[in-house]
Structure 1
Amino acid sequence: MTAYSKQNLVGIVGLGLMLSMPACTPIKQARNVEESGFLGDYSALREGQNGEALKIYLNPNYPQICNNYDKVLIEPVGIWVGKNSDMATISPDDRQMLVNHLHGSLVNELGKHYQIVRTPQPGTLRIRAAITEAEGSWVALDTVSSFVPQLLVMSKLKEIATGTGSFVGKASGEVEITDASTGERLAVAVDRMVGNKSVTGVTGKWDDVTRTFDDWSDRMAYRLANCGANRPEQ
């Protein structure tokens, strides 16, 4: 890893514990996402279809070789801070919580299908993931606006114009999946999710973001375990 990468990959953590999730406001996929530079090479990515990340690559050979993998190595999740990124303003405690949650969610979901290992072995998938954007919702305002029709209408108008409502969280992330022994690239995804305004509001600042992490982890685990097939709509 280059010196630049080390300086920009912050909040590296070890194995995170899965955090409990209260009822949360719904989330939805954003209209677009910016590449952060974490993955390095984006040339093979295509625009995602329904049920896929906004930008995605799947090795055409993966459906034929997917059953060769029964283990997964999850590298420590990091926060990638690029130029003019608001991520640098997030408190250290919140950064730690976010990377812990994403790592724990990956362990929880992938562990349903694979043995979690710490060293490369035959039949192992290597997962590299980074949070590239995370903005908490305005908890008090979100709760109030969800119950006041005028404010809910204002949020919907903003959503029509920008693709995201007022006072909701959002998150972007990137992941690369390779063969842990050969380094062959098997899959890449770049995605962005935003809070979707609802009458229930949120109960915590990071509800939209942590729910996004759980959705990403579930979707990734399903697709890897099912040889590239998309997860059924939920």
Structure 2
Amino acid sequence: MKLASMMSTLCLASLGLVGCSSNVTQPDEYSGFLGDYSQLKEAKSPSGVEVMRWVDPKLDLKQYRSVYIEPTQFYPKPQPTVKIPQNTLYGINRYYDEALKREIGKDLPLATAPGPGVIVVRAAITAVSSKTEGLKPYEIIPIALVAAAVSTASGIRDQETTLGTEAQFIDGGNNKVIAQVVRKGSGKPLQNDTQVMQPSDVKNVIDGWAADLHQSFQKLKKQ
């Protein structure tokens, strides 16, 4: 069998998903956290990363005085593995909280509860994976916590770390969704298939997400 045919077969067979790795989160990778994905459109974040996004065309940020960031969560709830243990999951979740508060807090004061004049940020981490570079199937059912099985020969290859998120922004007065975003990113590669993932391996991804939200707020304020 030719190499191209072998790679195609591998890509299609991995967890029954159609399509290999893409920079943009595909519909079959949606977790269900947002509920309705019908209005999402492909767009570029302020840093130039391709994302799926929707913003209410009638949105006026001037009517909001503060922002309430709900504790971030994993969706669906993951099961720890040897490569991605519970302390890693906890650390990723905690750092996402910190990054959102740090960056969005530059735009609006942080509120202690939802209410009129408050934007509610509801975010979830929907995929965490470590995969052998070059194969890159995107595992997501349940949350992508399974390391790819590799042979002794391929075990020396770097393992790519991937993180996915879905977030919605809600009017704290009437609970209306005013914006949504779905995106993913790659963290630091692991040296081999036995290295345990650490929160620091994906901090650059989370920092990028939070910084883009800050820049998006700035752009929307000027409209």
TM-aligned CA deviation for residue 68 of structure 1: 1.7
What is the TM-score normalised by the length of structure 2? Answer: 0.66
How far apart, CA to CA, are the structure 1 residues paired with 2:210 and 2:187?
17
Structure 1, unaligned runs of 5 or more: 1-28, 139-154, 198-203, 230-234
Aligned length: 173
Distance 1:216 1:226, change over 3 A: same
Partner of 1:39: 34
Write out aligned runs for 1:64-79 (5 A): 65-79=60-74
Partner of 2:213: 220
How far apart, CA to CA, are the structure 2 residues paired with 1:103 and 1:97?
10
> Is 1:88 the equivalent of 2:83?
no
**Amino acid aligned to 1:44:** Q
Q: 2:122 aligns with which of 116, 125, 128?
A: 128
Residues 26-72 of structure 1: CA distance to partner in whole angstroms, max 9, x if unpaired?
A: xxx8243410001111111112246355211111112xx11222300
Q: Secondary structure of 2:103's match?
A: helix
Which stretches of structure 1, 4 residues or more, deviate above 6 A after TM superposition? none
Structure 2, unaligned runs of 5 or more: 1-21, 139-156, 190-196
User: Percent identity, aligned pairs only?
Assistant: 24
Write out aligned runs for 1:19-58 (5 A): 30-33=23-26, 34-49=29-44, 51=48, 53-58=50-55
Write out aligned runs for 1:1-234 (5 A): 30-33=23-26, 34-49=29-44, 51=48, 53-62=50-59, 65-81=60-76, 87-89=78-80, 90-135=84-129, 158=134, 166-195=158-187, 205-227=198-220
How far apart, CA to CA, are the structure 1 residues paired with 2:61 and 2:161?
35
Q: Secondary structure of 1:54's match?
A: strand
TM-aligned CA deviation for residue 168 of structure 1: 2.4
TM-aligned CA deviation for residue 137 of structure 1: 7.9
Q: Which has the higher contact order (CA 8 A, sep 6+)?
A: 1
Q: Secondary structure of 2:159's match?
A: coil
